[in-house]
Structure 1
Amino acid sequence: MAKKKQKRKNKTGLIPGSMVYTGQKENQELFIEVFDYTPEHYTEESYYKIEDTFGYKATDTVTWITINGLNHVEAIEKLGVHYGIHPLILEDIVNISQRPKIDEFDDYLYVVLKLLYLNEKDNTVISEQINFLLGHNYVLTMHESDLDIFEGVKDRIRNTKGRVRDMGADYLLYILMDTLVDHYVNVVDVLGDTIEDFENDVLDGTITEDASKTILNLKREVLRARRTVLPSKEVVSRIEHNDHKLIGKGTLTFYKDIYDHLVQVSENIDVYREMVSNLMDMYMTTISNKMNEVMKVLTIMASIFIPLTFIAGVYGMNFNYIPELQYRNGYFIVLGLMAVIFIGMILYFKRKKWL
């Protein structure tokens, strides 16, 4: 499956904190969603200007601000100035090649995770960076485009499902991260089913000619998932063992649940990685066995025809005084001798279980 080569933007020589959007969605429209809620009520608003969100910082309610469009560097810079975000963090937000990580500050936590999902056409794994910023009574999520993966969280806020409206911003960050981890589980499960089905095809001998290419593609997708899940596990582990004032002790138990899920996903990835490595060995063994079968058949045929060719060659020599040439039924005798040799060798090979 051919991949379109992405253009990389050179940041060499720029001062630290320079904001350069490194993605490909240059024409994405800025769209902002805000959920502001308490246990008793909630409001849901949509905006197209970053300044419209500034009034939510000083409220006592819990606010979730979703910013779609990392290509709008100036707007994100204004947001950073208003919320007191460090310039290096702003630089990381618009640089979509970040490894999953967590940075701790006195007034906020910055978390980078990756969304994993499958391309519907060819089941390749696609990742997209999701930036989270947890502050006092607010959570900011920033990503490249409008995603529908958090629709379930929005419905829980709208319909007072679960405990989200009764908890703080730290719990909101938990359910958002948990949603991403659920996608990890789904992606890895689909990869696992694909690998197991292909393994059965290899064992049944029904593989296609481009099997080696399929195996290499599967290996690449498993490694891509692994590069996301392993550092994400480190991020959640740091939160779980953290005593930061923004995360309450009662919420840490929920983050431990995320960590347990990531451990399970990581173990599954290691198993599938080993399976993919073994698939190539199995495929090469299958090809070798098929070649051996062909060579065995050719060798048996050659072994049968060697004595027949010898007899035919002797009686095909152009000498006048070959004794048997004068026999009236010599031709039929030689054909009969050839038939006896042919049948005898077939029976011998079957007795030896070579056929």
Structure 2
Amino acid sequence: MPSLPRSPFGRRGRATAEVTPERTEPRVEIIESPGLRWFNVERPRSLEQAWLEEHFDFHALDLEDIRSRNQRPKVDEYDEYLFIVLHFPRYDKKVSRLNAAEVDIFVGPDFLITIPNEPLDPISYLFERCRTNEEFRDQLFSKGSGYLLYKIVDDCVDAAFPMLGKIGNKLERIEEAIFEDGEAEDVVRDISNAKQEIINFRKIVRPQRVAFRDLERNKARYLAEDLDIYFDDIIDASERGWDMLENFKEVVEGLEATNESAIAHRTNQTFQVLTAISLIFLPLTLIASFFGMNVHLPFEDSQYAFWIIIAAMLAIVVGVAAFFRRRGWL
């Protein structure tokens, strides 16, 4: 039997896929300075968790919290370290939504470990700056792990204000669009999106306020006395952001009510015009129905009857329209 020609595409049903080799080394970035080390472990997996268990004597519950993705912001105090869980807003461009990025932090007298479960630009930028700028690193690390913790948290809190500014600009655009014709559906959608962003932002910030106050109470362990005021600044910034969210919440609710009133007003205007038009032509319908009857009527034998009726109907239309105009109904 002659052999069949081989297909240039290979056998059907078998697809060649590139297999990514498994990592054998944990992805742990380290910056060292005399007296202080900063470890950054982004998106930890089993290798990174095993590395933490091997190199540090952390409580088992803290290691379990790292594996979990549903932790509330909190500050747990131990004899040798602090374990901190914080959430910060992060805009996901793939789904166009505001999500919470969690970062777990271990703070000791001579070390600090940041474990973000999602990439956070403020932490990545600060870590890279410390890596590349020796003068900045020495200046920052010389003040101890408490000040480094303050700098990380402060940068993450400050990064939320541009997002709040964008929400404020969006509300201003919505306010302008409410009174423009032809954009009712777009305005409703924009109000819904703005409300969702504000709700998500509030869900992130509300529990964080308690964690910041707990952190402010425990700051003295790793912070010099002359640096106490710095953590008060974090609380002030957090409260300022919360006040902005409260204001945005009231504004978007007011815009929603205003938009509903504007839609109702436009609808009433439409019905008013349609009602006026119906009333204008109602007498004409009555006259036409009379002369459409199969009975003897005055002037029906006159050759000018049609034009007389048309003139009378036009006079009625003009008179009723003028009356409605004077009353402001048209």
TM-score by length of 2: 0.85
Gaps of 5+ in 1: 1-26, 39-60
CA shift for structure 1 position 145 = 4.9
CA shift for structure 1 position 91 = 1.2
Q: Is the 8 A contact 1:71 1:144 kept in 2?
A: no
Tell which structure's C-alpha radius of gyration is larger: 2
Distance between the aligned counterparts of 2:118 and 2:95, measured in 1? 21
Q: Which residue of 2 aligns with 1:345?
A: 320
Paired letter, 1:295: F
Paired letter, 1:69: R
Distance between the aligned counterparts of 1:280 and 1:134, measured in 2? 45
CA gap 1:201/1:67 in 2 versus in 1, 3 angstroms: same
CA shift for structure 1 position 156 = 4.6
Q: Which residue of 2 aligns with 1:323?
A: 298
CA gap 1:148/1:271 in 2 versus in 1, 3 angstroms: closer
Q: 1:318 aligns to what SS in structure 2?
A: coil
Paired letter, 2:169: D
Q: Which residue of 1 aligns with 2:58?
A: 85
Q: 2:71 aligns to what SS in structure 1?
A: coil
CA gap 1:243/1:145 in 2 versus in 1, 3 angstroms: closer
Q: 301, 304, 308: which is aligned to 2:277?
A: 301
Gaps of 5+ in 2: 1-21
Q: 35, 43, 53: which is aligned to 2:31?
A: 35
Distance between the aligned counterparts of 1:68 and 1:282, measured in 2? 45
After TM superposition, list the pairs within 5 Å mapping 1:11-22 onto structure 2. none
Distance between the aligned counterparts of 2:125 and 2:45, measured in 1? 26
Q: Is the 8 A contact 2:72 2:85 kept in 1?
A: yes
RMSD between aligned alpha carbons? 2.3
Q: Which residue of 2 aligns with 1:334?
A: 309
Q: Which residue of 1 aligns with 2:249?
A: 273
CA gap 1:239/1:144 in 2 versus in 1, 3 angstroms: closer
Q: Is the 8 A contact 1:184 1:229 kept in 2?
A: no
Distance between the aligned counterparts of 2:298 and 2:48, measured in 1? 107
Distance between the aligned counterparts of 2:219 and 2:144, measured in 1? 16
Q: Is the 8 A contact 1:108 1:246 kept in 2?
A: no
Paired letter, 1:107: E
Distance between the aligned counterparts of 1:346 and 1:339, measured in 2? 11
The reply on whether 1:178 has 2:154 as its aligned counterpart is: yes
Distance between the aligned counterparts of 1:80 and 1:140, measured in 2? 13
Identity of aligned residues (%): 26
The reply on whether 1:247 has 2:215 as its aligned counterpart is: no
Paired letter, 1:250: D
Paired letter, 1:266: W
Could you list the runs of 4 or more consecutive aligned residues of structure 1 that deviate by over 6 angstroms after TM superposition?
none
- Can you list the C-alpha shifts for 1:143-163, whole angstroms capped at 9, x where unaligned? 235554324423156242384
The reply on whether 1:261 has 2:237 as its aligned counterpart is: yes
CA shift for structure 1 position 250 = 2.7
CA shift for structure 1 position 92 = 1.1
- Can you list the C-alpha shifts for 1:165-192, whole angstroms capped at 9, x where unaligned? 3210000011110111012112221122
Q: Which residue of 1 aligns with 2:70?
A: 97
Distance between the aligned counterparts of 1:351 and 1:198, measured in 2? 35
CA gap 1:206/1:117 in 2 versus in 1, 3 angstroms: farther
Distance between the aligned counterparts of 2:52 and 2:293, measured in 1? 100
Distance between the aligned counterparts of 1:147 and 1:31, measured in 2? 16
CA shift for structure 1 position 226 = 0.9
Q: Which has the larger helix fraction? A: 2
TM-score by length of 1: 0.79
Q: Is the 8 A contact 2:184 2:263 kept in 1?
A: no
CA shift for structure 1 position 120 = 3.4
Paired letter, 2:89: L
CA gap 1:254/1:268 in 2 versus in 1, 3 angstroms: same
CA gap 1:244/1:344 in 2 versus in 1, 3 angstroms: same
